[in-house]
Chains A and B, each alone.
Chain A
């Protein structure tokens, strides 16, 4: 169920209306049921994975602070995935197929987890705390690694062996990437690490934790929330305020406009330029990458606004994920404006634990590279994403090592700042070409197009068309000018807000009959 679908337009108000009159635990039960329903509409089978992840994280975190749950409770919780898959297999044979392997893995899960849990409890306190933290972190990363990267690395190895003339005769299994796995595993890792570090008390009950991890507005594509800020909003019941409704609807409207009017329309040009059968020239290639820059921004920031708006209607505040990213003056600034919750996650859970910038310039650069290549790989199992991460690592390194570039990023005079922003925007565009190409062949196709400087009869019309779809977003951003939240319009007069809402609604309606999937759902 996509946020811009008619199903969601019915689903969300229903959940909101049922939610507010309930006591806290009732709300948690409703959120859990709604979230599992929301997620299950993509693929019922992957709910088992979410259930398993929930069980592991919950019991490990409790154990880290010395709370030992009863064996029966652990067993019952860890049996949930096999019960779910078995039930689907038995009752839903006609609509879904459950592979025997999935059933075996789900069956083995409690057999492995319960004894391991008992065994780690026999360790000394500090060792036990670390043991549970690693059990939670590694299990989540293993799930992510298997579903997202196994096929990629295995096929890369096969290609390498094939190039060396070796045929191992392997047949790789077809592994489907579960929706949202990249997001909720990262949130789980953050939860385990923060509880281990004592930054957060673990959830007191399984229901609250399950609702927290599966919270439907941000389950599928973030923002990747920090448990210390996010969990208390579940453990304490929010009070109804009209502001929740007003802010929620404003965010939903802005998000829908960004996604449906800006992103989905810009996608037309980007898809044409990057289509394997098209033969663009350089002006078209540039137009295509400009279109993609606004497509991905409109798509993901639109998704974030829709997620924030949905959560706000339930009295829950989600983090901002974007702050005018194309006004960044350098790569470091860019990552403080683009997908902020992911970049800060990598900063706090990868870059800083690696030593950050505390171990000398060489080690800092190495840490930067490791972090950025992993961040690239997080976006998808493809060499172009690795290359995109490396490209950003090159930029970060250059801005760090070349004093003139470093000074440019921090420039305060208007002229220099304008140049810094323009320069960074061009660099960002080239990065998007790597990102959008999907394959190295696709990137080569685009780069070849950049060498063909011929006239095109239809280019100008297409450029005007693209401008029509970008300009309202730029005007909206000029109107908001709020440094902390680019979707905030509270500083404007009531009539300006009314006019803006109406204009955004008309633009949304003008493109509302086509529905396209969000880009970040595939990550």
Chain B
């Protein structure tokens, strides 16, 4: 009897083969895995002068493509935001509706939806930094305060995973990461119903709820959103990119009374407006009565709500004279 049996050697050979295969065949899709959206370039895949937005590395972009170098006659609008800005599809988000509005106005517009579910100020800022590389004509930054818990939690996961902690040793293997990714994203993500997963994540939801009710935590998050948003805006201004801020509003109903609450964003976002920074509070787009039929929950709006936001955006851009001249018909 020897220390290494033939079956064990076969096991090691298979692992090594898979590891090499993953490294050389799948390496482009491994980027940012276990960075939970904090990897700088995850989701932006550059191939032959084109950029593909991919669902990877904790960034669940809607699949979209655009030229790395913006053609001179194209008005490129990049919308950076969370699940509210993302909507249910590119076409039914305000990005898609804005593109239709602009095209109808004769502008050769290319509107890209970079909304990512659960992204708070910190992770949106990372997307903004990436966006700077692709010469946007306009960046629309959707600002809200409801995702800071998730940002913090995912930061903790990223830090934990990228530490030399022994619990992460197995996932240092790219092959094992790929297998884990396939299982969680393809098998669980596509087959396990949402209601089943919700029970499994009930504890996490509870923790979020408790944290959200803590006024001190709320105050810290609001301050953090403000500071980070200012940084994002400064980055865009330093690069000379016109910016439009859409501020989130939350739909609340109590005793049949509807209120639209922007969680104090308006108290500081006004300072950010300038000749190169426009502001569109969602609060100004809908009346509370309209909101009853436009919100699907406390934060997310239905496609009709997205259409109204897009209309307001187009009007504002036109009013401020930010839109390029329409193409000659």
Which A residues have a C-beta under 8 Å from some C-beta of B? Answer: 5-6, 9-10, 241-243, 245-246, 249, 268-269, 271-272, 275, 277-278, 458, 461-462, 464-465, 468, 494-495, 497-499, 501-502, 505-506, 509-513
Contacts and interface: CB of A to CB of B under 8 A. Distances in A.
A502 B179 CA distance: 12
Given A505-B11, A510-B182, 7 more contacts: A242-B3, A249-B8, A272-B196, A458-B193, A497-B10, A509-B180, A513-B171
A30 B232 CA distance: 58
Contacts of B166: 6, 9-10
A467 to B, nearest CB: 10
A8 to B, nearest CB: 11
Interface string B130-173: 00000000000000000000000000000000000111011101
Contacts of A458: 193, 195
Contacts of B3: 242, 245
14 contacts: A6-B165, A10-B166, A245-B3, A246-B5, A272-B200, A277-B199, A465-B191, A494-B5, A497-B7, A509-B176, A510-B184, A511-B183, A512-B171, A513-B180
Given A501-B11, A505-B11, A510-B180, A269 B170 contact: no
A495 B7 contact: yes
B45 to A, nearest CB: 24
Contacts of B14: 498-499, 502
Interface residues of B, number: 36
A333 B236 CA distance: 73
Contacts of A510: 179-180, 182-184
A493 to B, nearest CB: 9
B2 interface: yes
Given A243-B1, A506-B179, A513-B171, A498 B6 contact: yes
A494 B7 contact: yes
Interface in B195-210: 195-197, 199-200
A499 B10 contact: yes
A6 B171 CA distance: 12
B13 to A, nearest CB: 8
A244 B116 CA distance: 51
A103 to B, nearest CB: 35
A193 B171 CA distance: 49
B187 A465 contact: yes
B192 interface: yes
A336 B199 CA distance: 35
B171 A242 contact: no
A268 B197 contact: yes
A271 B200 contact: yes
A6 B170 CA distance: 10
Nearest first, the 4 closest Cβ-Cβ pairs linking A and B are: A498-B10, A510-B183, A6-B167, A497-B7
A437 to B, nearest CB: 16
| Residue among B9, B165, B192 facing the most chain A CB atoms (10 A cut-off) | B192
